[in-house]
């Protein structure tokens, strides 16, 4: 017990608890609802849907449901433990991902902890009950394996099975393959321009090349077969996702939530240009690749953090060691003296209590979170009054309507932007914002009911159109209907 109460161990425990508490948050992602519904559909039908079952605009069209295993997992946890189970489970996934980053940080644990907290605040806006969190976890595992494969080559045997798991959980499996390529190329460059010779490096390079081939070979072992080779690339090239989906936007540094990432980006540039520690070729490649990814899309910031935190921590440790301060930082707070044990025990208990209370509050407030982010009142009204369809709904509410109203109603659109395609997304937002051709989708799909936010330009226009009348409104949404077929 006394050894556990050493300051270093208490620090690590408190750090992990703090990350878990930070990651525990109310479920507000608009896609979680159709993930839940699809998980239920898969469990009950014992098959993965390959045609769209939810919309009337894409009914029966091919659908690459690349997150099917995540959906089954989310639904299973929800059935067993409700929203509380999902909140706790995904907070554990995030905390575990970051703990593995901490394990890759060399030197003093307190310096690593500072950078770990910094990285957590930079990536926190992307956290939630989302399949992407499985990609975060698996990317962290891949980095841990690849970095330790020099000394423990048998770890590489896990990469192909993990790729099979990953490609069934989420289309982000390509990150794992990309990391493997960067490690392989980086090691080759280190041999070409470093002190190690080809003969010494050849066995490890050969192993990395075989791992890369194996990971690519097992990609078709999923519910969508060889289509998963091209799906991630098609998603990255999707114009509509880059234009309309917030998490695919580049970072907006005018927003406070992006400032930790901006500061980390500046720290990386300083480390690349001014750090006395010589970075390895693979570190430079990893930094540049993930920096480009994060600057292109905020959803990739967590991957940048996984790569960056250990490198910044090592650079800071090197800088302190050169000045003789590295060991002092550790020794001033790590001694297991008896007079500190009581303080450490109190700190540990306090953080455990804080974490429990924090999670309980988040779970208790989940109904409020749902009511704040989704039109619960509108759904209740629709279930009671049954206005005529087809219904044109808001993009971010489609998943909620799928969970609450399918199969009685089918949606016009939902968060599966890849299914709907660029031209359809353009038409939807043209209608929403009253730009050129805005009436065409209403006429084409014979829309009878509109469900949109009160400030939507289309709502303002239809309120003054003959034949349209408002039958419901609240602070979040307005329901307009017409008896006149377009």
Residue 330 has pLDDT above 60, yes or no: no
Does a structural domain hold residue 121? yes
Flag whether 360 is in a domain: no
Task: Kindly report, residue by residue over 382-394, the tens digit of the pLDDT.
Answer: 999 999 889 999 9
| Count of domains for the chain | 2
90 vs 150, higher pLDDT: 90
Query: Residues 122-139: pLDDT tens digits?
Result: 999 999 999 999 999 999
Task: Specify the 3-state DSSP secondary structure of 54.
Answer: coil
Instruction: Choose the weakest-confidence range: 5-14, 147-156, 202-211.
Output: 5-14
d(CA 194, CA 290) in angstroms, rounded, equals 24
| 419 and 296 share one domain | no
Q: Is the pLDDT of residue 463 over 60?
A: yes
Given a contact cutoff of 8 angstroms between Cβ atoms, the answer to whether 452 and 393 are in contact is yes
428 pLDDT exceeds 80? yes
Nearest to 138 by CA among 69, 72, 206, 190: 69
Q: Are residues 432 and 378 in the same domain?
A: yes
Position 51 in a domain: no
What is the average pLDDT across 2-10? 64
Same domain, 324 and 406: no
Say if residue 290 is in the same domain as residue 158.
yes
Query: What's the token pair of residue 231?
Result: 């799906």
Distance (Å, whole) CA 418 – CA 239: 10
Looking at the fold, whether 269 and 413 belong to one and the same domain comes out as no
Residue 44 within a domain: no
The widest CA-to-CA distance across the chain, in whole angstroms, is: 82
pLDDT at 4 over 70: no
Same domain, 329 and 383: no
If asked whether residues 236 and 100 sit together in one domain, one would say yes
pLDDT value for 106 = 82
Is residue 297 in some structural domain?
Answer: yes
Residues 383 and 288 in one domain: no
The pTM for the full model equals 0.93
Q: Note whether 317 and 437 are same-domain residues.
A: no
Print the domain residue range for 433.
374-482
Which of the four pLDDT bands, split at 50, 70 and 90, describes residue 40?
Answer: very high
Q: What DSSP assignment string belongs to 434-485?
A: T-TTTTHHHHHTT--EEEE-TT-HHHHHHHTSTTEEEEEE-SS-EEEEESS-
3-state secondary structure of 317: helix
Above pLDDT 70, what percent of the chain? Answer: 94
176 and 124 fall within a common domain = yes
Q: Domain boundary at 338, 356, 383, which?
A: 338
331 and 379, same domain (yes or no): no
Last residue of a domain, one of 293, 311, 338: 338
Residue 76 has pLDDT above 60, yes or no: yes
In a domain, residue 85? The reply is yes
Could you tell me the pLDDT band of residue 195, with boundaries at 50, 70 and 90?
low
- For the segment 359-368, the average pLDDT, to the nearest whole number, is 96
Asked if 174 and 284 sit in the same domain, the reply is yes
Q: In this structure, is residue 366 part of a structural domain?
A: no
**The two three-digit tokens of residue 185, written as one number:** 């190329």
Instruction: Give residue 485's pLDDT.
Output: 62
Average pLDDT of span 86-90: 98
Q: Which of 338, 366, 392 is the last residue of a domain?
A: 338
* CB of 419 closer than 8 Å to CB of 67: no
* Residue 334 pLDDT > 80: no
Give the β-pairing of 391-393 and 449-452: parallel
- Sorted by sequence, the CB contacts under 8 Å of residue 75 that are 6+ apart come out as 35, 36, 38, 39, 40, 42, 43
| 364 located within any domain | no
Nearest-angstrom CA–CA distance, 188 and 193: 9
């Amino acid at each position: 017990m006394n050894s556990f109460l050493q300051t270093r161990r208490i620090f690590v425990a408190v750090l992990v608890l703090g990350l878990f508490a930070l990651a525990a948050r109310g479920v507000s992602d608009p896609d979680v609802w159709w993930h839940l519904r699809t998980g239920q559909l898969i469990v009950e039908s014992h098959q993965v849907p390959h045609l769209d079952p939810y919309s009337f605009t894409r009914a029966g069209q091919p659908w690459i449901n690349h997150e099917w295993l995540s959906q089954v997992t989310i639904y299973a946890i929800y059935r067993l433990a409700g929203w509380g189970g999902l909140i706790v489970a995904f907070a554990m996934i995030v905390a575990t991902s970051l703990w593995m980053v901490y394990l890759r940080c060399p030197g003093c644990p307190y310096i690593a902890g500072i950078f770990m907290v910094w990285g957590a605040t930079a990536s926190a806006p992307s956290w939630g009950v989302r399949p992407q969190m499985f990609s975060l976890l698996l990317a962290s595992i891949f980095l841990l394996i690849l970095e330790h494969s020099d000394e423990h080559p048998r770890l590489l045997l896990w990469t192909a099975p993990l790729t099979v798991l990953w490609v069934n959980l989420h289309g982000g499996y390509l990150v794992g393959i990309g990391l493997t390529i960067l490690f392989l190329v980086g090691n080759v460059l280190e041999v070409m321009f470093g002190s190690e010779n080809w003969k010494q490096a050849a066995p490890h390079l050969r192993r990395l090349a075989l791992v890369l081939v194996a990971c690519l070979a097992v990609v078709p072992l999923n519910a969508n077969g060889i289509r998963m080779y091209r799906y991630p690339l098609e998603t990255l090239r999707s114009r509509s996702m880059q234009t309309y989906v917030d998490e695919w936007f580049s970072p907006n540094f005018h927003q406070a939530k992006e400032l930790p990432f901006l500061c980390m980006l500046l720290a990386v540039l300083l480390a690349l240009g001014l750090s006395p520690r010589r970075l390895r070729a693979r570190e430079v490649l990893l930094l540049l690749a993930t920096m480009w990814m994060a600057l292109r899309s905020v959803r990739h910031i967590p991957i940048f953090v996984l790569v960056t935190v250990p490198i910044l921590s090592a650079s800071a440790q090197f800088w302190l060691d050169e000045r003789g301060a590295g060991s002092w930082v550790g020794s001033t707070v790590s001694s297991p003296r008896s007079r500190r044990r009581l303080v450490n025990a109190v700190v540990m208990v306090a953080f455990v209590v804080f974490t429990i209370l924090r999670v309980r509050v988040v779970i208790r407030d989940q109904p409020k979170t749902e009511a704040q982010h989704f039109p619960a009142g509108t759904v209740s009204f629709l279930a009671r009054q049954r206005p005529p369809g087809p219904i044109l709904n808001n993009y971010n509410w489609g998943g909620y309507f799928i969970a609450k109203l399918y199969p009685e109603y089918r949606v016009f659109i939902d968060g599966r932007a890849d299914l709907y395609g660029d031209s359809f997304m353009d038409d939807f937002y043209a209608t929403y914002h009253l730009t050129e051709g805005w009436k065409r989708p209403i006429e084409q799909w014979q829309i009878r009911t509109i469900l949109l936010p009160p400030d939507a330009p289309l709502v303002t226009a239809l309120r003054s159109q003959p034949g349209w009348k408002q039958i419901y409104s609240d602070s979040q949404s307005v329901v307009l209907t017409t008896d006149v077929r377009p």
